[in-house]
Copies of this chain bind each other. A is one copy, B any other.
Amino acid sequence: MSAPGAAAPDLGGGAAAPEPMPARDREQGSSTQTSHRLLAYSDALLSIIATVMILPVAHTKIHPDQKLGESVQQLLLAKIAVYLMTFLIVTVAWAAHVRLFQVIEFIDDVLALLNLACMMIITFLPYTFSLMASFPEVPFGIFLFSICAVVIGLIQAVIVAYGFYHPHLLNRQIRVSENQNFYKRHILKIILRGPVLCLLAAIFSFFFIPLSYVLLGLVIIFPHLTRFVSWCKTKIVGQRDEEEEHHSLETFTFYLSEPLSKERVEAFSDGVYAIVATLLILDICEDNVPDPREVEEKFHGSLLEALSEYGPNYLAYFGSFVTIGLLWFVHHSLFLYVKKATRLMGLLNILSLAFIGGLPLAYQLTSEFAEKSHNEIEAIQISCVITFFASIFQFAIWTAALHERETLHSFARYGGKEHAFMFAKLALYPCVSLGAFFLTCLLSEFSTAIFHVMQIVIPFAFLALRIFVRISSTVIKSVLSLSRWKAVLLEEEEACLSPTETLS
Which A residues have a C-beta under 8 Å from some C-beta of B? 6, 9-10, 13-14, 16-17, 19-21, 30-31, 33, 37-38, 40-41, 44-45, 48-49, 52-53, 55-56, 109-110, 112-113, 116-117, 119-120, 123-124, 126-127, 130-131, 134-135, 138, 140-141, 266-267, 270-271, 273-275, 277-282, 284-286, 288-290, 292, 295, 303-304, 307, 317-318, 321-322, 325-326, 328-329, 332-333, 335-337, 339, 409-412, 416-418, 459, 462-463, 466
Give the CA-CA distance A337 to B10 in the complex, in Å. 12
What is the distance, in angstroms, from A67's C-beta to the closest C-beta of chain B? Answer: 25
| Contact (Cβ within 8 A) A45 B321 | no
Beyond A140-B304, A321-B120, is A40–B270 a contact (Cβ under 8 Å)? yes
Which chain B residues border A279 with CB–CB below 8 Å?
A: 52
Which chain B residues border A9 with CB–CB below 8 Å?
A: 416-417
What is the distance, in angstroms, from A289's C-beta to the closest C-beta of chain B? Answer: 5
Which chain B residues border A112 with CB–CB below 8 Å?
A: 329, 332
CB closest residue in chain B, given A133: B289
Pairs A–B under 8 Å by Cβ, sample size 27: A13-B411, A14-B409, A14-B410, A16-B410, A17-B411, A21-B409, A30-B412, A37-B266, A37-B270, A40-B266, A40-B267, A41-B270, A44-B275, A45-B277, A45-B278, A48-B274, A56-B282, A56-B286, A109-B333, A109-B462, A109-B463, A127-B285, A130-B285, A131-B307, A134-B290, A134-B292, A140-B304
Instruction: Identify A116's interface contact among B17, B325, B337, B466, CB under 8 A.
Output: B325
What is the distance, in angstroms, from A108's C-beta to the closest C-beta of chain B? Answer: 9
Give the CA-CA distance A280 to B123 in the complex, in Å. 9
| Contact (Cβ within 8 A) B124 A281 | yes
Which chain B residues border A303 with CB–CB below 8 Å?
A: 131, 135, 138, 140-141
Interface centre among A19, A53, A326 (most CB of B within 10 A): A19
Which chain B residues border A462 with CB–CB below 8 Å?
A: 109, 113
| Contact (Cβ within 8 A) B48 A278 | yes
| Contact (Cβ within 8 A) B290 A332 | no
Which chain B residues border A412 with CB–CB below 8 Å?
A: 30
Beyond A13-B416, A303-B138, A416-B13, is A113–B463 a contact (Cβ under 8 Å)? yes
Beyond A17-B410, A126-B285, is A119–B49 a contact (Cβ under 8 Å)? no
